[in-house]
Structure 1
Amino acid sequence: MKISHTFGHTLRESPTGAQLTSHQLALRAALVRFLGAGLYSYLPMGWRAARKIEKILHEEMQAIGAQEMLMPVMHPAELWQATGRWYSVGPALVRVKDRSGHDYAMAMTHEEVVAELARREINSYRDLPQVVYHIQTKIRDEPRARGGLLRVREFRMKDAYSLDVDAAGLDEFYPKIIAAYERIFERCGLEPIAVEADTGMMGGADSHEFMLPHPDGEDTFIRCTECGYAANVERAEFKLAPVEAQAAEEVQPVATPDCETIADVAAFVGVPTCQTLKVVFYAWTKNDEEHLVMALIRGDLEVNETKLLNVLGGGTLDTATGDAVRAVGGEPGYGSPIGLSVRKSGEETGVIVIADPSIQAGHNFVAGANRPGYHLTGVNYPRDFEVTLIEDIAQAQDGFLCPHCEGMLKAESAIELGHCFKLGTHYAESVGATFLDADGKERPIMMGSYGIGVGRLMAAIIEAHHDDHGIIWPPTVAPFQIHLLTLGDDASILDQGDALYEQLQAAGFEVLYDDRDERAGVKFADADLIGCPIRVTVSQRSIEAGGVEVKARWSKDRAVLEAEDLIDEIRRMLG
């Protein structure tokens, strides 16, 4: 392709609002253009890179026996209603009506459709296992669309789905898809870490995310410095440091004026924060019903809202109003379950109190007195209060103890590159996707779901492969393999450039030819910005030296090669 004919032009400066390096370079190198919040058009240069990534995705999916198909973006609401996600996902799911008033979901993922297809196409255990995939547009009403291609509202995703007879079949396939993902990322020049992850709105028993450590990543994962345990912070577990045993004291009220935080209270009373109880009140909504929930945890820990929602069984959490808290006898900022009517398991009245096990690992806590300006000392569980459930709702943090060894946990920011889910039978059961087993018994199909976002992967590649001058594309995903440019307006130089352009293309290379009448500085700057792996320069100096100048984008070294050596050397450099 000749740059003089290319649609889209490079930019010297980063547009206002582009903060991440990948966002800045994608715009400056004319890969994409901003259309609206979370909406980007791919220009020819960017689309070529995206198609290279998709080629790798196709090859690795087909290598494990996955069959390509294509499913619609617009789904009848009935499918999402059947699985419950029409109600549980929230505003991220874009809902539309057709002219007849029928409801539709704009696909953010395709589990419902795959389950419906399986209901129609799978009859017997002889039809299983199956693996299908597609690369299709997804829609998500992202509330914080930012970071360029990393967080968008419309995107292309490779999503694959496995259909199995039972959990054993799913367990047998799962390592194959994990290995395929590792090969995909390796071919893209990335080295992410597979971590345990929360299943979120997808549901299921287990899932793994592929996290690329990056200081500007929007996700956080925890890993052990000793044994290699790694998990998304939403799921990560940890081991509490031992607490010295104490004899139980009597409960005593104490005035705590102007104490607005746990740290204030601990300092005023003269105890460490681990000897306080922290309360967070939530308005929990599920199936259009709202309930007041108290999360109770040791004062030196933080509530993990993802874990809390999983304990509650899904829905949404919002901060409870002061009026709602006072209506049950609590007091914002001074709350505790002491003296409140606590809902017991199976009951429908009282405050739902979900307590973290950390409340059992301590003695003589300082807790709120449900009275402005007062706390209670000498509080012990279960002597002084009741809870509805005790479950892990604590967030792992940097420096905590590993749950599997004596090592220390380290928190790292990262970019999520892909996600694998063991879905189980929920989707199949919801739409009636069953099969007859070898004994003639009807059973639900076991499903798995596996996704990689194409644009997100492109952005991650740029984040991992760039310098101060621009992108440094790995050869496997570069929009072009060679950036050919001529310097000077001498006819012999231009003729040699044209001839070399034809020669390189005839040899099977993808060539971006800068045939513009521009200064050398402009051409070199664009070559570095766009980042094709090999730069070939035809100039008066190179001709006088007996050939053309060749330089790899990732190296400062340059060499002048004769025409007969050029093709072989470029092939060697590209690997």
Structure 2
Amino acid sequence: MRLSSLLSTTLRQDPADPAPAGMKLLQRAGYLRATSPGRLAWSPLGVAALARLTTHLRAPLDAPQPLILAPEGPAEQGHYFGRYAGGWEAQALEVPLLRLARSEISSYRQLPATLWQQRLVSGRPWLEAWVLTPDEEALEAEMSRLQEAYSDLLTRWDLPGQPVAMLPNLLGSALAWTWASPHPEGSLRLHAGQMDSRLASLIFAQGAPAADPMAPVETPDVQTIAELAAFLQISPAETAKVVCYRATCAGHTEPQLLMVVIRGDLEVNEAAVARRVGATTMEPASEADLREVGAVPGYASPVGLSHPRLRVLADTSVVAAGGLVAGANKAHTHLKQVQYGRDYEAELTGNIHQLPAEEETLPARPLGRLEAAGTALAEGVGASCMSSQGRPEPLALGYVGWDLTELMTALCEVHHDEEGLSWPAELAPFDLALISLADGEETIAQAEHLYAALLAAGFRVLYDDRAKKAAGPGVRFKDADLRGVPLRITLGRRALSEGGAEWKARGGEPDLISVDQILARLQAWRTAFTD
């Protein structure tokens, strides 16, 4: 890539717009520009950096195949994975993906299959991949492998030093992580007191099993969690509340009654609930709905209930808890010491709670997301394959998505010094900057010959062939450092006349070497950082 014709200039001062520090570094180095409020344009240099990053992000995927999917309209939104771009938003890609799989996959022998694409989400580049497996067990194993591989990758890039945290599931899948870096300008919220750098940000300690059996307690005219906590003089966190919905779900012809059990101090994440059950519509259940399945409004719980329309979902907050106070399905009565697994069970469990209130959290920057969605979407679309047992089974679907802008910004804030960016060699968009200070025909020809030889040997070269009038030596050196290229080779008239060139690693001291030795030394240098 020749700088004389490259659409990318550097800035000597930070841009005036209120951008994160890493994004300002990218703008100063000429990787991107703000074209309007909230909109960024990546330059050819920036595209090269994104390509290098996505190469490493695709590496953990199992034989990934590229494709291009067009999102479907808003009528079908709400079923699909969220991408964070100023807010979690539905991007209806999974239905066309599963329709494609329905037409192309007929047997479990064609699986697993991994498909990927790069596209813009709300004006920001994302790398997205989908994993298709013949069943949920295989999906969970593959997504767990990817979770570990990506955590190791971010650790290698020193991002956990911020640190990297994994949020609880926001959209309802049984297995889900969001990688996020705590950052004062971040748009996500992490629970400050319960965050772990390598685990979920909301961690519910396993409570001691209830020592005593359930016991009824009279609670006259007590119907809300606040009233119950005040009446029994306990914390809302010591109660289990139910929130009920009437829902139309994939695979069911009749409306279903969803009974969500959650700790009394938390709120239900309705998007997560809808996602878990494949709901196309969901509204608060009526008192008639509750009575039909045997529940009593104001005193409802899943204890003792069984009905074809009833589907119980339990949040991890109650699964992990010991004995809680819950409704008795009897007017003016609750039950003490209600234990999940002993006194009731749920069809589905997982993180289906909202994040805590802002005053209890710290800001974080979302980087990417991994989620095992299971088979619900495939069931709704009719995407199945013949299993090893010789019967059709719905495909299991997983998702991986990386916000490349946020990830690149976070990397820049870790890898920089007073001179500018300092990319790790494996992430640098170029292996080296070749700077030609030659001004005569013969020395220019030597520089061109070396540039061609480097390209032929497979090196990624940023060739500063600008005229002296356009940029003097000092400007060229500063530009190379600002852009973070890990190695600089300079060809000047005096050095060339002696058969040599200046070799300088980023942050190191210059060294004069023979031009004839450049290729061999570069090969050894590249081998050193790839091993």
After superposition, residues 94-173 of structure 1 pair within 5 angstroms as 108=91, 110-126=93-109, 128-140=110-122, 153-164=123-134, 166-173=135-142
Tell me, yes or no, if the aligned pair for 1:481 and 1:510 is still in contact at 8 Å.
yes
Aligned to 2:490: 537
* Secondary structure at the counterpart of residue 199 of structure 2: strand
- 1:570 is aligned to 522
Change (3 A) 1:197 1:468: same
CA 1:124–1:239 in 2, change beyond 3 Å: closer, same or farther? closer
C-alpha distance in 1 between matches for 2:94 and 2:192: 30
Q: Does 1:6 align with 2:6?
A: yes
- Equivalent position amino acid for 1:136 in 2: Q
Where structure 2 has 5 or more consecutive residues not aligned to the other structure, the ranges are 209-218, 220-232, 249-260, 280-296, 306-314, 326-333, 337-348
Please, what TM-score do these two structures have when normalized by structure 2?
Answer: 0.65
Alpha-carbon offset, residue 529 of structure 1? 1.0
1:65 matched to which residue of 2?
Answer: 63
Distance of 2:11 and 2:362 partners within structure 1: 33
Which of 207-216 and 514-523 deviates more?
207-216
Q: Which amino acid aligns with 2:70?
A: V
Question: Partners in 1 of 2:263 and 2:140 — Cα distance?
Answer: 35
Q: Is the 8 A contact 1:297 1:394 kept in 2?
A: no
Paired residues of 2:130 and 2:397 also in contact (CA < 8 A): no
Runs of at least 5 residues in structure 1 that lack an aligned partner in the other structure? 95-106, 141-152, 242-250, 252-273, 289-294, 316-340, 348-353, 364-380, 384-390, 401-410
Equivalence for 2:500: 547
Distance 1:426 1:296, change over 3 A: closer
1:307 is displaced (CA, Å) by 9.7
Structure 1 123/520 Cα, relative in aligned 2: closer, same or farther at 3 Å?
A: closer
Aligned residue among 491, 495, 509 for 2:459: 509
Deviations 1:76-127 (A, max 9, x none): 556x36x74599x999688xxxxxxxxxxxx73632222222333334444x
Partners of 2:363 and 2:487 lie apart in 1 by: 32
Cα distance change of structure 1 residues 545 and 123 upon mapping to structure 2, 3 Å threshold: closer
Q: Secondary structure at the match of 1:74?
A: coil
Query: Which residue number corresponds to residue 526 of structure 1?
Result: 479
Q: CA deviation at 1:2?
A: 2.3
Q: Which residue of 1 aligns with 2:27?
A: 27
Contact between 1:504 and 1:511, CA under 8 Å: does it hold in 2? yes
Contact 2:378 2:396 in 1 (8 A): yes
Match of 2:54 in 1: 54
The answer to whether the 8 Å contact 2:382/2:394 transfers is: yes
In the TM superposition, residue 8 of structure 1 has moved relative to its aligned partner by 2.6
What amino acid is aligned across from residue 467 of structure 2 in structure 1?
Answer: R
Deviation of 1:18 after TM superposition, in Å, equals 3.9
Q: Counterparts of 1:119-518 in structure 2 under 5 Å?
A: 119-126=102-109, 128-140=110-122, 153-164=123-134, 166-181=135-150, 185=154, 197-201=167-171, 203-211=172-180, 218-219=187-188, 230-233=198-201, 235-238=202-205, 342=298, 344-345=300-301, 415-487=365-437, 494=444, 496-514=446-464, 515-517=466-468, 518=471
CA distance in 2: counterparts of 1:297 and 1:466, whole angstroms: 44
Measured after TM superposition, the shift of residue 310 of structure 1 is 5.4
Q: Cα offset for 1:545?
A: 7.7
CA distance in 2, matches of 1:112, 1:455: 26
The TM-score, its normalising length taken from structure 1, stands at: 0.61
Q: Distance in 1 between matches of 2:503 and 2:411?
A: 24
Please give the alpha-carbon distance, in whole angstroms, between the structure 2 residues aligned to 1:212 and 1:159: 22
Per-residue deviation at 1:30?
1.5
Q: Is the 8 A contact 2:69 2:97 kept in 1?
A: no
| Structure-2 residue corresponding to 1:557 | 509
Identity %: 24
